[in-house]
Amino acid sequence: MRLCVRSLKTAATEIRMWVFFLSACAGGAALLYVLYSWLIPAAVQYNASLALLWHDVIVERVLDRITGSTRPQRLLRAVQKKATQGDPQSVIATIDHFCRHSEWAMNVGDEKGSILDSVVTELNPSSALELGTYCGYSTVRIARLLPPGSKLITLEFNPAYAAVARQVIAWAGLNDKVQLVEGPSGDLIPQMKELFGVQTFDFVFLDHWKDRYLPDTKLLEECGLLRKGTVLLADNVICPGTPEYLEYIRNSSRYESRYFKSHLEYTKVEDGLEKSVFLG
């Protein structure tokens, strides 16, 4: 009888230990979820370095390892699952929702995207160049606004990004307006006239490696690809920042520049676009 009572007490103790352990695990999991989903994202909203570290390094690497996929691939899956095929605006809205509610990505974003839209609409370019395709978000924003017969050439250095961007552009139904070219901008810009028969560009959107903004702008000048009135629009001039480019473009007599204050995509960190008109 005593043995039976002792066994029951031991079993009860073990049950309490397991309940405590499982409760602690559940509580820890809940705390981690709250930290990951709300507290940390809210805490880094106003700090540039922390926002980029959290979203563009920590979260991306963790999700890559957990899912066995990349951020661009996850973004593409969201587009293919939720966006209406052949509808550019649906593709844009789907990516914005993904980046705000599922996983941040360094697109130009919805807030600065509206500024990009207004510049493209006002200019109504027949020939446009984009430096830095990434997943094709800004490519879709630009191409959907181009008049019939216009062409957007977009350059992407990373083959994996280019592979995703091609599918995003195709899903938006914009293949006829976009020419995506893989390779370093420094190598491709001098070949624009030979490869594509482009004499000059009406519009250039800079959104690639920030240390390439200035050398590529000078290369566009040297290759005669800018005409009087060509508009250059540069993203992320504050965050992560392009100080050498801004110093050059704002102090050159060959440009008339204006800064559009905004925020780093999907955060409250200050960022902006620099619009520069080439004066010849």
The pTM is what? Answer: 0.86
Range of the domain at 136: 79-278
In a domain, 205, yes or no: yes
Per-residue b or e along 243-272, where b marks 16 or more CB atoms closer than 10 Å to that residue's CB: eebbebbeeeeebeeeebebbbbbbebebb
- The whole-angstrom distance between residue 42's C-alpha and the CA centroid of its chain comes to 20
| Catalytic residue chosen out of the listed positions 110, 207, 216, 271 | 207
Residue 253 lies inside a defined structural domain of this protein: yes
Burial class of 135 by CB neighbour count within 10 A (0 to 12, 13 to 18, 19+): buried
* Average pLDDT, rounded, for the chain: 89
- Asked whether residue 9 is assigned to any structural domain, the reply reads no
Helices 213-222 and 243-251 meet at what angle, rounded to 10?
Answer: 40
Identify whether 82 is a catalytic site residue: no
Smallest Cα–Cα separation from 156: which of 126, 128, 127, 179?
Answer: 179
Residue 113 has pLDDT above 70, yes or no: yes
In a domain, residue 74? The reply is: no
Say if 52 falls within a structural domain: no
| pLDDT grade for 40, boundaries at 50, 70 and 90 | low
Residues 122-178: tens digit of each pLDDT: 999 999 999 999 999 999 999 999 999 999 999 999 999 999 999 999 999 999 999
Assigned domain for 260 exists: yes
Q: Is the pLDDT of residue 35 over 50?
A: no
So what's the pLDDT on residue 172?
A: 98
Count of structural domains within the chain: 1
Is residue 152 one of the residues assigned to a domain? yes
Which pLDDT belongs to residue 32?
A: 43
User: Do the domain assignments include residue 21?
Assistant: no
State how far the Cα of 83 lies from the Cα of 191, in Å rounded to an integer. Answer: 35
pLDDT given for residue 192 in this prediction = 95
Selected catalytic residue, list 96, 202, 235, 271: 235
For position 135, what pLDDT does the model report? 97
175 is known as an active-site residue: no
130 is catalytic: no
221 is in an annotated binding site: no
The model's confidence at residue 6, banded by pLDDT at 50, 70 and 90, is low
So what's the pLDDT on residue 182?
97
Q: How confident is the model over 175-226, as pLDDT tens digits?
A: 999 999 999 999 999 999 999 999 999 999 999 999 999 999 999 999 999 9
Q: Of 202, 210, 216, 275, which is the active-site residue?
A: 210
* Residue 210 annotated among the catalytic residues of the structure: yes
Question: What's the CATH code of the domain at 83?
Answer: 3.40.50.150
H-helix segments, the chain: 2-34, 40-43, 48-53, 60-67, 71-82, 88-101, 109-123, 137-143, 159-171, 185-188, 192-196, 213-222, 243-251
Query: Per residue in 58-81, pLDDT tens?
Result: 889 999 999 999 999 999 999 999
